[in-house]
Structure 1
Amino acid sequence: MSLAPFISKRPWLVKMLQPLAQMYVNQAGYRKMGLRTDDLISEENETVLKALSRLPPRESYDRIYRIRRAQQLSMQQKILPKAEWTKPEEDVEYLGPILREVEAEEKERAALDTLTIAKKH
């Protein structure tokens, strides 16, 4: 269960929690490695793999590059120079919309697969 819908419906609560959310993102450190939020989504799920296959070629290449660079930095126990960190305005969702679309399709397919037809007498 997520608190996001509850919080997003209350602008005063969003305003109050925004600094805390920014502090959390900064402490997470993924931006210091040049990653974006959607780069952290695990690829161990069929739904995610399907969404990744729908990415445009350039976005897919960029994702792989960012992840490999972050792995290399991690092995060297380094971070990028501050000028190369991912800026908040660059950290936009690119996989989430496709992922939600794939999940909706799977949910619809499951509903159609379990559909029963009743005969009228």
Structure 2
Amino acid sequence: MAVKSTGRLMRWMQKVYYNQAGFNQFGLMADDTLRQTPEVIEAVRRLPADTYNQRAFRIKRALDLSLKHRILPSEQWTKFEEDVRYLKPYLEEVEREMKEKADWNAR
């Protein structure tokens, strides 16, 4: 019983943090806000064209809104439940490849 309530509490805390971060008010997803490390840059380069274009649109729209000191109407905000970690599989692959390359170079 305690595990279920702990899980619900964690989920609630995640939602609160997600909404407090504010990037969703610009229509961004969590993966759109990742710091541009070499791994992230390579993962973004590997995205399919349609996913890459959607990401670019969200970032350009967010920049435009930010410059105008505006946010999207609340019905257009990215919802916690709808935010997909689209970059995660590519990022994991890149990190695995970089680790393997470093292991080979260390020999």
Is 1:37 matched up with 2:33?
no
Which residue of 85, 103, 106 maps to 1:111?
A: 103
Deviation at 1:11, TM superposition (A): 6.1
- Distance across 1 between alignment mates of 2:106 and 2:43: 24
Contact 2:25–2:71 under 8 Å retained in 1: yes
The amino acid across from 1:90 in the alignment is E
Counterpart in 1 of 2:11?
A: 18
Counterpart in 2 of 1:66?
A: 58
Q: Unaligned 5+ residue runs, structure 2? A: none
Is 1:54 matched up with 2:12?
no
Deviation at 1:37, TM superposition (A): 0.5
Identical columns (%): 40
Q: Unaligned 5+ residue runs, structure 1? A: 1-9, 116-121
State how many pairs are aligned: 105
Counterpart in 1 of 2:89?
A: 97
- Distance across 2 between alignment mates of 1:56 and 1:105: 19
Contact 2:15–2:80 under 8 Å retained in 1: no
Partner deviation per Cα, 1:35-74 (whole Å, 9 max, x = no partner) = 000000122x211111111000011111111011001111
Is the radius of gyration larger for structure 1 or structure 2?
1
Q: What is the TM-score when the length of structure 1 is the normalising length? A: 0.79
Higher relative contact order (CA 8 A, sep 6+): 2
Q: Which one has a larger percent helix, Structure 1 or Structure 2?
A: 2
Q: What is the TM-score when the length of structure 2 is the normalising length? A: 0.88
